Structure 1
Amino acid sequence: MPLNVAVLTISDTRTAADDRSGNYLAEQLQTAGHQIAEKAIVPDDIYQIRAIVSRWIADATVQIILTTGGTGVTGRDGTPEAITPLLDKQIAGFGELFRSLSYTEIKTAAIQSRAIAGVANCTYIFCIPGSSGACRTAWEGILSDQLDANYRPCNFGSLLPRLQE
Protein backbone atom coordinates (compact mmCIF):
# COMPACT_ATOMS: atom_id res chain seq x y z
CA MET A 1 0.00 0.00 0.00
CA PRO A 2 1.83 3.12 -1.16
CA LEU A 3 1.59 6.04 1.24
CA ASN A 4 1.82 9.76 0.48
CA VAL A 5 4.69 11.13 2.54
CA ALA A 6 5.97 14.68 3.01
CA VAL A 7 9.62 15.12 4.03
CA LEU A 8 10.81 18.22 5.87
CA THR A 9 14.45 18.99 6.56
CA ILE A 10 14.89 21.46 9.41
CA SER A 11 18.22 23.26 9.16
CA ASP A 12 19.73 26.73 9.00
CA THR A 13 22.51 25.49 6.71
CA ARG A 14 21.20 22.75 4.40
CA THR A 15 20.24 23.30 0.78
CA ALA A 16 18.66 20.96 -1.75
CA ALA A 17 22.18 20.21 -3.02
CA ASP A 18 23.57 19.00 0.32
CA ASP A 19 20.49 17.71 2.16
CA ARG A 20 21.80 14.19 2.74
CA SER A 21 19.24 13.30 5.42
CA GLY A 22 16.13 14.49 3.59
CA ASN A 23 17.36 12.98 0.35
CA TYR A 24 18.10 9.67 2.08
CA LEU A 25 14.57 9.50 3.51
CA ALA A 26 12.99 10.42 0.16
CA GLU A 27 15.06 7.77 -1.65
CA GLN A 28 14.17 5.07 0.89
CA LEU A 29 10.49 5.96 0.72
CA GLN A 30 10.46 5.81 -3.07
CA THR A 31 12.38 2.53 -3.09
CA ALA A 32 9.75 1.11 -0.73
CA GLY A 33 7.02 2.16 -3.17
CA HIS A 34 5.72 5.24 -1.38
CA GLN A 35 4.96 8.60 -3.01
CA ILE A 36 6.70 11.85 -2.05
CA ALA A 37 3.85 14.30 -1.60
CA GLU A 38 6.26 17.19 -1.03
CA LYS A 39 9.83 17.76 0.12
CA ALA A 40 11.00 21.01 1.70
CA ILE A 41 13.75 22.61 3.75
CA VAL A 42 12.93 25.12 6.49
CA PRO A 43 15.17 27.00 8.94
CA ASP A 44 15.33 26.07 12.64
CA ASP A 45 12.44 28.38 13.50
CA ILE A 46 9.51 27.08 15.52
CA TYR A 47 6.92 29.13 13.66
CA GLN A 48 8.20 28.33 10.18
CA ILE A 49 8.32 24.63 11.06
CA ARG A 50 4.81 24.79 12.50
CA ALA A 51 3.47 26.63 9.43
CA ILE A 52 4.62 24.07 6.88
CA VAL A 53 3.73 21.05 9.03
CA SER A 54 0.29 22.56 9.75
CA ARG A 55 -0.29 22.97 6.01
CA TRP A 56 0.62 19.32 5.45
CA ILE A 57 -1.58 18.18 8.35
CA ALA A 58 -4.51 20.03 6.78
CA ASP A 59 -3.85 18.43 3.37
CA ALA A 60 -5.96 15.26 3.24
CA THR A 61 -3.61 13.71 0.66
CA VAL A 62 -0.60 13.76 3.04
CA GLN A 63 -0.70 10.65 5.22
CA ILE A 64 2.78 10.72 6.77
CA ILE A 65 5.17 13.54 7.63
CA LEU A 66 8.84 12.84 8.28
CA THR A 67 10.96 15.65 9.68
CA THR A 68 14.71 15.51 10.05
CA GLY A 69 16.66 17.94 12.20
CA GLY A 70 16.10 20.21 15.16
CA THR A 71 15.63 17.45 17.74
CA GLY A 72 18.80 18.07 19.74
CA VAL A 73 19.35 20.19 22.84
CA THR A 74 21.15 23.23 21.43
CA GLY A 75 19.65 26.70 21.35
CA ARG A 76 18.24 26.51 17.81
CA ASP A 77 16.81 22.98 18.15
CA GLY A 78 13.06 23.46 18.43
CA THR A 79 11.36 20.76 16.40
CA PRO A 80 9.66 19.05 19.40
CA GLU A 81 8.42 22.44 20.63
CA ALA A 82 7.09 23.24 17.15
CA ILE A 83 5.36 19.89 16.60
CA THR A 84 4.06 18.80 20.02
CA PRO A 85 1.26 21.44 20.22
CA LEU A 86 -0.03 20.22 16.84
CA LEU A 87 -0.41 16.58 17.92
CA ASP A 88 -3.75 15.01 18.79
CA LYS A 89 -1.94 11.94 20.15
CA GLN A 90 1.69 11.23 20.93
CA ILE A 91 3.40 7.95 20.04
CA ALA A 92 5.85 7.83 22.95
CA GLY A 93 7.26 4.47 21.94
CA PHE A 94 8.82 5.92 18.78
CA GLY A 95 11.26 8.16 20.66
CA GLU A 96 11.97 5.45 23.21
CA LEU A 97 12.67 2.82 20.56
CA PHE A 98 14.73 5.25 18.48
CA ARG A 99 16.96 6.10 21.45
CA SER A 100 17.32 2.40 22.29
CA LEU A 101 18.41 1.58 18.74
CA SER A 102 20.72 4.60 18.73
CA TYR A 103 22.34 3.49 21.97
CA THR A 104 23.63 0.35 20.26
CA GLU A 105 25.33 2.60 17.68
CA ILE A 106 26.39 5.77 19.51
CA LYS A 107 26.16 4.73 23.17
CA THR A 108 25.23 7.43 25.68
CA ALA A 109 25.10 10.17 23.02
CA ALA A 110 21.65 8.75 22.22
CA ILE A 111 20.29 10.55 25.28
CA GLN A 112 20.70 13.87 23.43
CA SER A 113 18.00 12.93 20.91
CA ARG A 114 14.51 14.28 21.42
CA ALA A 115 12.97 12.25 18.59
CA ILE A 116 9.17 12.26 18.84
CA ALA A 117 6.15 11.02 16.91
CA GLY A 118 2.40 11.42 16.98
CA VAL A 119 -0.82 11.80 15.06
CA ALA A 120 -2.52 15.03 14.01
CA ASN A 121 -5.70 15.16 11.92
CA CYS A 122 -5.22 11.51 10.86
CA THR A 123 -1.64 12.22 9.74
CA TYR A 124 1.34 10.44 11.28
CA ILE A 125 4.30 12.69 12.12
CA PHE A 126 7.78 11.34 12.89
CA CYS A 127 10.52 13.76 13.99
CA ILE A 128 14.00 12.34 13.50
CA PRO A 129 17.41 13.85 14.29
CA GLY A 130 19.20 15.54 11.41
CA SER A 131 22.19 13.29 10.87
CA SER A 132 22.08 10.84 7.99
CA GLY A 133 23.05 8.10 10.47
CA ALA A 134 20.02 8.90 12.61
CA CYS A 135 17.78 8.83 9.55
CA ARG A 136 19.20 5.44 8.60
CA THR A 137 18.60 4.15 12.14
CA ALA A 138 15.00 5.40 12.14
CA TRP A 139 14.30 4.07 8.65
CA GLU A 140 15.93 0.66 8.99
CA GLY A 141 15.00 0.07 12.63
CA ILE A 142 11.44 1.38 12.73
CA LEU A 143 9.88 3.15 9.76
CA SER A 144 10.54 0.72 6.92
CA ASP A 145 8.51 -1.93 8.74
CA GLN A 146 5.89 0.33 10.27
CA LEU A 147 5.08 2.00 6.93
CA ASP A 148 4.81 -1.38 5.19
CA ALA A 149 1.21 -2.63 5.13
CA ASN A 150 2.49 -6.20 4.91
CA TYR A 151 4.50 -6.05 8.14
CA ARG A 152 3.03 -8.25 10.88
CA PRO A 153 1.77 -8.37 13.52
CA CYS A 154 0.79 -4.72 12.94
CA ASN A 155 1.93 -1.51 11.27
CA PHE A 156 0.99 2.16 11.09
CA GLY A 157 0.06 1.95 7.41
CA SER A 158 -2.76 -0.50 7.99
CA LEU A 159 -4.13 1.64 10.84
CA LEU A 160 -4.57 4.77 8.69
CA PRO A 161 -8.24 4.10 7.83
CA ARG A 162 -9.03 3.60 11.54
CA LEU A 163 -7.51 6.92 12.68
CA GLN A 164 -10.79 8.66 11.86
CA GLU A 165 -12.89 6.35 14.05
Structure 2
Amino acid sequence: MAKIDESRPFIAVKIAILTVSDTRGLDQDKSGDTLVARLEKAGHILAARTILQDERDQISSQLRTWCADENIDVIISTGGTGLTGRDVTVEAHRDVYEKEIEAFATAFTVISMQKIGTSAVQSRATGGVAQGTYLFALPGSTGACKDAWDDILRYQLDYRHMPCNFVEIMPRLDEHLKRTKN
Protein backbone atom coordinates (compact mmCIF):
# COMPACT_ATOMS: atom_id res chain seq x y z
CA MET A 1 0.00 0.00 0.00
CA ALA A 2 1.29 3.47 -0.90
CA LYS A 3 2.21 5.72 2.00
CA ILE A 4 4.55 8.46 3.18
CA ASP A 5 7.48 7.09 5.17
CA GLU A 6 8.13 9.80 7.77
CA SER A 7 11.48 8.21 8.66
CA ARG A 8 12.86 9.30 5.27
CA PRO A 9 13.98 12.92 4.77
CA PHE A 10 12.02 15.23 2.48
CA ILE A 11 14.06 16.23 -0.59
CA ALA A 12 12.97 19.42 -2.34
CA VAL A 13 13.10 19.27 -6.12
CA LYS A 14 13.54 22.25 -8.42
CA ILE A 15 10.54 22.64 -10.71
CA ALA A 16 10.03 24.85 -13.77
CA ILE A 17 6.51 25.80 -14.86
CA LEU A 18 5.73 26.46 -18.52
CA THR A 19 2.32 27.76 -19.51
CA VAL A 20 1.36 27.38 -23.15
CA SER A 21 -1.29 29.81 -24.32
CA ASP A 22 -2.01 32.08 -27.27
CA THR A 23 -4.24 34.32 -25.17
CA ARG A 24 -2.99 34.48 -21.57
CA GLY A 25 -0.20 36.42 -19.92
CA LEU A 26 1.39 35.54 -16.58
CA ASP A 27 -1.05 37.87 -14.80
CA GLN A 28 -3.99 35.70 -16.05
CA ASP A 29 -2.26 32.34 -15.65
CA LYS A 30 -4.47 30.64 -13.06
CA SER A 31 -3.26 27.14 -13.92
CA GLY A 32 0.38 28.16 -13.59
CA ASP A 33 -0.42 29.94 -10.32
CA THR A 34 -2.15 26.79 -9.06
CA LEU A 35 0.90 24.64 -9.81
CA VAL A 36 3.30 27.16 -8.23
CA ALA A 37 1.20 27.37 -5.06
CA ARG A 38 1.01 23.59 -4.76
CA LEU A 39 4.67 22.88 -5.40
CA GLU A 40 5.75 25.57 -2.93
CA LYS A 41 3.28 24.34 -0.31
CA ALA A 42 4.78 20.85 -0.70
CA GLY A 43 8.25 22.29 0.01
CA HIS A 44 9.64 22.23 -3.53
CA ILE A 45 11.45 25.09 -5.27
CA LEU A 46 10.13 27.11 -8.21
CA ALA A 47 13.23 27.13 -10.44
CA ALA A 48 11.76 28.98 -13.44
CA ARG A 49 8.48 30.07 -14.94
CA THR A 50 7.46 31.39 -18.33
CA ILE A 51 4.60 31.52 -20.77
CA LEU A 52 4.84 30.74 -24.48
CA GLN A 53 2.43 30.67 -27.39
CA ASP A 54 1.33 27.39 -28.96
CA GLU A 55 4.36 27.08 -31.24
CA ARG A 56 5.94 23.63 -31.33
CA ASP A 57 9.50 24.80 -32.01
CA GLN A 58 9.39 27.43 -29.25
CA ILE A 59 8.00 24.95 -26.74
CA SER A 60 10.51 22.21 -27.54
CA SER A 61 13.36 24.74 -27.50
CA GLN A 62 12.34 25.94 -24.03
CA LEU A 63 12.03 22.35 -22.80
CA ARG A 64 15.52 21.54 -24.12
CA THR A 65 16.98 24.66 -22.51
CA TRP A 66 15.47 23.78 -19.16
CA CYS A 67 16.51 20.11 -19.46
CA ALA A 68 20.11 21.27 -19.92
CA ASP A 69 19.90 23.47 -16.80
CA GLU A 70 21.35 21.68 -13.77
CA ASN A 71 19.14 23.86 -11.54
CA ILE A 72 15.95 22.24 -12.89
CA ASP A 73 14.87 18.70 -11.97
CA VAL A 74 11.27 18.72 -13.23
CA ILE A 75 9.37 20.65 -15.89
CA ILE A 76 5.59 20.88 -15.75
CA SER A 77 3.78 22.50 -18.65
CA THR A 78 0.13 23.43 -18.69
CA GLY A 79 -1.93 24.05 -21.81
CA GLY A 80 -1.85 22.94 -25.42
CA THR A 81 -2.73 19.28 -24.80
CA GLY A 82 -6.12 19.29 -26.49
CA LEU A 83 -7.21 18.17 -29.93
CA THR A 84 -7.32 21.42 -31.90
CA GLY A 85 -4.81 22.41 -34.55
CA ARG A 86 -3.02 24.87 -32.26
CA ASP A 87 -2.56 22.28 -29.47
CA VAL A 88 1.05 21.21 -30.03
CA THR A 89 2.46 20.86 -26.52
CA VAL A 90 2.35 17.06 -26.55
CA GLU A 91 4.20 16.92 -29.86
CA ALA A 92 6.81 19.39 -28.54
CA HIS A 93 7.30 17.25 -25.42
CA ARG A 94 7.70 14.11 -27.50
CA ASP A 95 10.29 15.91 -29.66
CA VAL A 96 12.37 16.19 -26.48
CA TYR A 97 11.69 12.92 -24.62
CA GLU A 98 14.32 10.23 -24.42
CA LYS A 99 11.77 7.99 -22.70
CA GLU A 100 8.04 8.44 -22.33
CA ILE A 101 6.29 7.62 -19.06
CA GLU A 102 3.18 6.05 -20.59
CA ALA A 103 1.62 5.21 -17.23
CA PHE A 104 1.46 8.91 -16.33
CA ALA A 105 -1.08 9.50 -19.10
CA THR A 106 -3.01 6.41 -18.06
CA ALA A 107 -3.10 7.42 -14.39
CA PHE A 108 -4.14 10.95 -15.31
CA THR A 109 -6.96 9.64 -17.49
CA VAL A 110 -8.24 7.36 -14.72
CA ILE A 111 -8.24 10.24 -12.24
CA SER A 112 -9.90 12.58 -14.76
CA MET A 113 -12.60 10.02 -15.57
CA GLN A 114 -13.62 10.04 -11.91
CA LYS A 115 -14.09 13.82 -12.06
CA ILE A 116 -15.26 14.64 -15.59
CA GLY A 117 -16.36 11.30 -17.00
CA THR A 118 -15.73 10.46 -20.61
CA SER A 119 -14.64 14.04 -21.36
CA ALA A 120 -11.27 12.83 -20.04
CA VAL A 121 -10.59 11.20 -23.41
CA GLN A 122 -10.04 14.67 -24.88
CA SER A 123 -6.91 15.21 -22.80
CA ARG A 124 -3.50 14.21 -24.03
CA ALA A 125 -1.54 14.61 -20.80
CA THR A 126 1.90 13.07 -21.08
CA GLY A 127 5.11 12.54 -19.15
CA GLY A 128 8.66 11.69 -20.03
CA VAL A 129 12.34 12.00 -19.24
CA ALA A 130 15.11 13.84 -21.08
CA GLN A 131 18.66 14.68 -19.99
CA GLY A 132 17.93 13.48 -16.47
CA THR A 133 14.91 15.79 -16.17
CA TYR A 134 11.28 14.79 -15.73
CA LEU A 135 8.76 16.50 -18.03
CA PHE A 136 4.98 16.50 -17.64
CA ALA A 137 2.44 18.12 -19.97
CA LEU A 138 -0.89 18.89 -18.31
CA PRO A 139 -4.09 20.35 -19.74
CA GLY A 140 -4.58 24.07 -19.30
CA SER A 141 -7.54 23.89 -16.95
CA THR A 142 -6.99 24.67 -13.29
CA GLY A 143 -8.94 21.54 -12.35
CA ALA A 144 -6.68 19.32 -14.42
CA CYS A 145 -3.58 20.88 -12.86
CA LYS A 146 -5.00 20.30 -9.39
CA ASP A 147 -5.86 16.68 -10.22
CA ALA A 148 -2.42 15.92 -11.68
CA TRP A 149 -0.59 17.52 -8.76
CA ASP A 150 -2.84 16.36 -5.92
CA ASP A 151 -3.28 12.78 -7.10
CA ILE A 152 -0.02 11.95 -8.90
CA LEU A 153 2.84 14.44 -8.85
CA ARG A 154 2.60 15.39 -5.18
CA TYR A 155 3.36 11.77 -4.31
CA GLN A 156 5.79 10.85 -7.06
CA LEU A 157 7.87 13.98 -6.39
CA ASP A 158 8.09 13.17 -2.67
CA TYR A 159 11.12 11.07 -1.76
CA ARG A 160 9.23 9.74 1.26
CA HIS A 161 6.47 8.19 -0.87
CA MET A 162 6.65 4.41 -0.75
CA PRO A 163 6.94 1.90 -2.26
CA CYS A 164 8.67 4.05 -4.90
CA ASN A 165 8.82 7.57 -6.32
CA PHE A 166 10.47 9.58 -9.08
CA VAL A 167 12.90 11.36 -6.75
CA GLU A 168 14.75 8.25 -5.62
CA ILE A 169 15.71 7.35 -9.19
CA MET A 170 16.71 10.87 -10.28
CA PRO A 171 20.44 10.16 -9.88
CA ARG A 172 20.11 7.28 -12.35
CA LEU A 173 18.05 8.96 -15.08
CA ASP A 174 21.05 9.81 -17.22
CA GLU A 175 23.30 6.88 -16.29
CA HIS A 176 23.28 5.69 -19.90
CA LEU A 177 25.06 8.90 -20.87
CA LYS A 178 27.74 8.38 -18.24
CA ARG A 179 28.46 4.88 -19.54
CA THR A 180 29.05 6.13 -23.07
CA LYS A 181 31.59 8.71 -21.88
CA ASN A 182 33.93 6.06 -20.42
* CA-CA distance at 1:96 after TM superposition: 0.6
AA aligned to 2:57 is Y
- Alignment partner of 1:64 is 2:69: no
Return 5+ residue gaps in structure 1 as ranges: none
Q: Over residues 29-59 of structure 1, what are the superposed CA-to-partner deviations in whole Å (9 max), with x where a residue is unaligned?
A: 1111111110000001101111111110111
Q: Distance in 2 between matches of 1:137 and 1:163?
A: 26
Query: Partner of 2:180 in structure 1?
Result: none
Return 5+ residue gaps in structure 2 as ranges: 1-10, 176-182
Q: Distance in 2 between matches of 1:139 and 1:102?
A: 12
Q: Distance in 2 between matches of 1:154 and 1:109?
A: 30
Q: What secondary structure sits across from 1:66 in the alignment?
A: strand
Query: 2:107 is matched with which residue: 74, 97, 111?
Result: 97
Quick check: 2:60–2:95 contact (8 Å CA) kept in 1? no
User: TM-score, structure 1 length as denominator?
Assistant: 0.98
AA aligned to 1:86 is V
Query: 1:149 is matched with which residue: 150, 159, 172?
Result: 159
Which protein shows a greater Rg? 2
- Alignment partner of 1:32 is 2:42: yes
Q: Distance in 2 between matches of 1:45 and 1:142?
A: 27
Query: Partner of 2:138 in structure 1?
Result: 128
How many residues of Structure 1 are paired with residues of Structure 2 in the alignment?
Answer: 165
- Alignment partner of 1:52 is 2:38: no
* CA-CA distance at 1:135 after TM superposition: 0.2
* CA-CA distance at 1:164 after TM superposition: 2.6
- Alignment partner of 1:22 is 2:10: no
AA aligned to 1:117 is G
Identity %: 45
